[in-house]
Amino acid sequence: MSSNPVCFSFFRYPAAYSPAAFVFMGFRRRFMDRQMPPGLIRLMGCGGGDGFSIVPDFRAYCLMTRLDDPADQAWLRRTRFYRAIAGPSSEQLHFTLRPLSGHGTWDGAPVFTYAGAQQPDQPFVVLTRARVTPRHTAAFWRSVPAIRRHLRETPGCRWHIGFGEHPLLTLATFSVWEDLAQMQAFAYRGTAHHQASRAARQEAWLTESLFVRFAIDAIEGDLQRHPRLVALQPAA
């Protein structure tokens, strides 16, 4: 089964522009052209630091797009909506990905079509997303610092960031991995992540969760600022 590519674009803005970027988030729908290409288009804020903080980073945002027709990506980049996001940015990273496998929903619906292909022995991306029940937000966020420290110390993770629609109740994580073995060691082998995942299941922290693995088709943008990503670009 074929799967439509998904693009994750990360934008960083100069400090002086951060108030305007925050205001744009609140009024972003007014910038959407009437003839936007059909598909899934989500603009979300990133957390502070490496994205895993409960405090937002008002200089960093993520645009996730999964268009019904992949050829419409060029159309999207010509829209007023996209130009308002990309134009003032001081740094951009764009990941073009293909969903391989996953489970869970986003806002109650499946959002990706999976190729059903076996995990290739090459770099890949993992997306997770959690929606936290209000009464478990404290427990959830107490678990995050240990996971973040372990992720930073894991050599197989080449890049990571967190983002979401709501700074308290939703957290999506985007991580780029060298290979499957190192990701599984981080996620499942008695680590802080494994302990938090077990507590989340047993104590019903979450109202919704999502886990997706993506193959990498392309990484573009200001890669000179992220040398650990350069070697992961697929061969032309």
Kindly report, residue by residue over 10-56, the tens digit of the pLDDT.
999 999 999 999 888 877 777 776 677 788 889 999 998 877 888 89
Q: 1 in a domain, yes or no?
A: no
How many Cα atoms sit within 13 Å of 183 on the Cβ side? 23
- State the angle between helix axes of 192-203 and 137-153 in degrees (0 to 180), rounded to the nearest 10: 160
Residue 81 lies in a domain: yes
The residue with greater pLDDT, 118 or 213, is 213
pLDDT(163) > 90: yes
The per-residue pLDDT for 1 is 44
State yes or no: pLDDT of 89 exceeds 50. yes
Q: Would residue 11 count as lying in a domain?
A: yes
Look at residue 127 and give its three-state secondary structure: strand
The pLDDT of residue 235 is: 65
Q: Can you tell me the mean pLDDT for 46-72?
A: 89
Which residue segment(s) compose the domain that 181 sits in? 6-230
Mean predicted confidence (pLDDT) in 57-66:
94
The arithmetic mean of pLDDT across residues 94-117, rounded, is 91
Q: Which of the pair, 49 or 109, is modelled with greater confidence? A: 109
Residue 136's closest CA among 199, 55, 194, 195? 199
Name every residue whose Cβ is closer than 8 Å to that of residue 180 and which is 6 or more positions away in sequence. 119, 121, 124
Kindly report the CATH number assigned to the domain that includes residue 209.
3.30.70.100
In this model, does residue 86 exceed pLDDT 50?
A: yes
Q: Is the pLDDT of residue 159 over 60?
A: yes
DSSP category for residue 89: -
**82: pLDDT confidence band, cut at 50, 70 and 90?**
very high
Domain presence at residue 236: no
Residue of higher predicted confidence among 37 and 77:
77
| Residue range 75-99: mean pLDDT, rounded | 93
Position 224 scores a pLDDT of: 92
The predicted pLDDT at position 62 comes to 96
Q: Locate all alpha helices (DSSP H) within 32-79, ordered by sequence.
A: 73-76
The residue among 59, 63, 70 whose CA lies nearest residue 28 is 63
* 22 lies in some domain: yes
Q: Which regions of 116-193 does DSSP assign to beta strands (E)?
A: 124-132, 157-164, 170-177
On the question of pLDDT at 190 being above 70, the answer is no
pLDDT of residue 148 exceeding 90, the answer is no
Q: Work out the mean pLDDT of the chain and round it to a whole number.
A: 88
What pTM value is reported for the model? 0.91
Beta pairing partners, 101: 213
Residue 176 confidence (pLDDT): 96
Provide the domain count of the chain. 1
